[in-house]
């Protein structure tokens, strides 16, 4: 049965929720087709768990509460960390353990003071650190964008290790590193050169670091450019990992959906391998972020390879509304039943039978239905006859079973 149609009218809050529900259903369906099982974590977590993990959530952005025993808790600021703890500490990390979640996360920042809660839909794959798994995870993200109807989207793919290897040869202090990261992330080519010139680093290292922001675009071109700044075997292995992932994405036929960005250095202390983020038209920030974080399990004394990503659901909904990809109109039901008092028992019995077969049914005595309610069919129960009406048909029926048979015939 058709439930929603494209419409340009402004959504009510109820309709916004229905659109959100449809979006989440699509995400769940796609994650499931790749073999992932849904899980959840607690809304309240121990503050110590997050404060003791290096390179993850900014502690100042956590929303803290104190329970009756005086223990400091935080509203869940991240899903990956508790999921990683749950799987590693409970010994639940066989090869290819595949989990997905749709959960709210809570953070506060000065930049977005009013935005303390958001919904993330993400996946985590534990126990395998192969290029095949990395490329499959990226392909699942691409597949999901396609499911949602986005025709113009891109996944930027980088590698946390490439920049780390160069930085190790520069011997920068913490302040210098933070400043350099900010320049690279903003692709500030004007200021990078004078900034590097004032540092005491080898000329070839300076030239290599200076070229990082320009290593963006067509993967084959970026690979060729990156080969010219390889300085050791580790960097050669990292580049080969990127090449392997890209070749598998080509086998999927997904090469037109990706670009390489070796200047993608977000959360360097967290990610250990492939990193990526997804963009759609007219949204100025990533709607998806992910990557490989093989070192996180070590902080729970249980090393385990892991890779994952998370969609920002609220940004996805904003993009869908902006591009008019799936706007529901006023509520649509399958059948509206009108009946007179003399036909009440028969009408309500019919409503039960239809609902029992999965149809959405509204019933109204003496035709007192709200005019804004739309339906695919109207069933009228009058003293003289019972009638099923739609834009295409007008047929009589005598009992609930015959009414159900008519509806099923029309939909087949």
Q: Specify binding-site residues for L-histidine.
A: 78-80, 107, 120, 124, 270-271
Measure the CA–CA gap between 222 and 204, rounded to whole angstroms.
19
Residue 151 Cα to chain centre, angstroms: 17
Measure the CA–CA gap between 370 and 47, rounded to whole angstroms.
51
The three-class DSSP label of residue 400 is: helix
Residue 412 exposure: Cα atoms within 13 Å on the Cβ side: 6
- In order, the DSSP letters of 162-194 are HHHHHHHTTT--HHHHHHHHHHHHTT-HHHHHH
Residue 98 Cα to chain centre, angstroms: 15
By the 10 Å C-beta count (0-12 exposed, 13-18 middle, 19+ buried), 370 is classed as exposed
Measure the CA–CA gap between 220 and 271, rounded to whole angstroms.
23
Annotated binding site: 78-80, 107, 120, 124, 270-271
- Retrieve residue 125's tokens: 């794959």
Would you give the end-to-end CA distance of the chain in angstroms? 10
């Amino acid at each position: 049965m058709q439930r929603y149609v494209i419409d340009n009218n402004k959504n009510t809050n109820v309709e916004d929720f229905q659109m959100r529900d449809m979006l989440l259903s699509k995400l769940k369906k796609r994650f499931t087709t790749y073999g992932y099982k849904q899980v959840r974590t607690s809304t309240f977590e121990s503050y110590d768990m997050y404060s003791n993990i290096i390179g993850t959530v900014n502690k100042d952005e956590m929303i803290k509460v104190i329970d009756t025993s005086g223990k400091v808790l935080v509203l869940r600021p991240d899903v990956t960390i508790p999921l990683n703890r749950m799987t590693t500490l409970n010994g639940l990390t066989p090869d290819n353990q595949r989990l997905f979640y749709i959960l709210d996360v809570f953070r506060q920042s000065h930049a977005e003071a009013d935005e303390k809660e958001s919904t993330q839909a993400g996946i985590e794959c534990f126990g395998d650190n192969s290029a095949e798994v990395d490329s499959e995870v990226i392909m699942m993200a691409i597949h999901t964008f396609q499911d949602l109807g986005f025709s113009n989207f891109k996944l930027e793919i980088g590698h946390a290790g490439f920049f780390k290897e160069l930085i190790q040869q520069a011997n920068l202090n913490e302040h210098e590193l933070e400043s350099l990261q900010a320049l690279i992330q903003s692709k500030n080519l004007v200021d990078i050169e004078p900034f590097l010139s004032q540092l005491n680093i080898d000329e070839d290292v300076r030239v290599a670091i200076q070229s990082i922001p320009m290593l963006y675009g067509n993967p084959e071109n970026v690979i060729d450019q990156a080969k010219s700044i390889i300085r050791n075997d580790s960097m050669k292995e990292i580049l080969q990992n990127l090449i392997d992932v890209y070749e598998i994405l080509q086998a999927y036929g997904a090469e037109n959906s990706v670009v390489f960005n070796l200047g993608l250095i977000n959360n360097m202390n967290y990610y250990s391998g492939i990193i990526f983020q997804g963009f759609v038209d007219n949204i100025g920030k990533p709607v998806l972020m992910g990557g490989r974080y093989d070192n996180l399990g070590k902080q729970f004394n249980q090393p385990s390879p892991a890779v994952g990503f998370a969609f920002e659901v609220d940004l996805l909904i904003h993009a869908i509304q902006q591009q008019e990809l799936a706007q529901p109109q006023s509520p649509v039901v399958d059948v509206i039943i009108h009946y007179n008092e003399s036909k009440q028992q028969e009408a309500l019995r019919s409503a039960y039978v239809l609902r029992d077969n999965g149809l959405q049914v509204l019933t109204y005595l003496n035709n007192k239905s709200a005019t804004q309610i739309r339906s695919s069919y109207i069933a009228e129960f009058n003293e003289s006859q019972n009638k099923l009406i739609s834009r295409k048909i007008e047929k009589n029926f005598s009992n609930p079973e015959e009414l159900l048979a008519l509806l099923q015939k029309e939909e087949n």
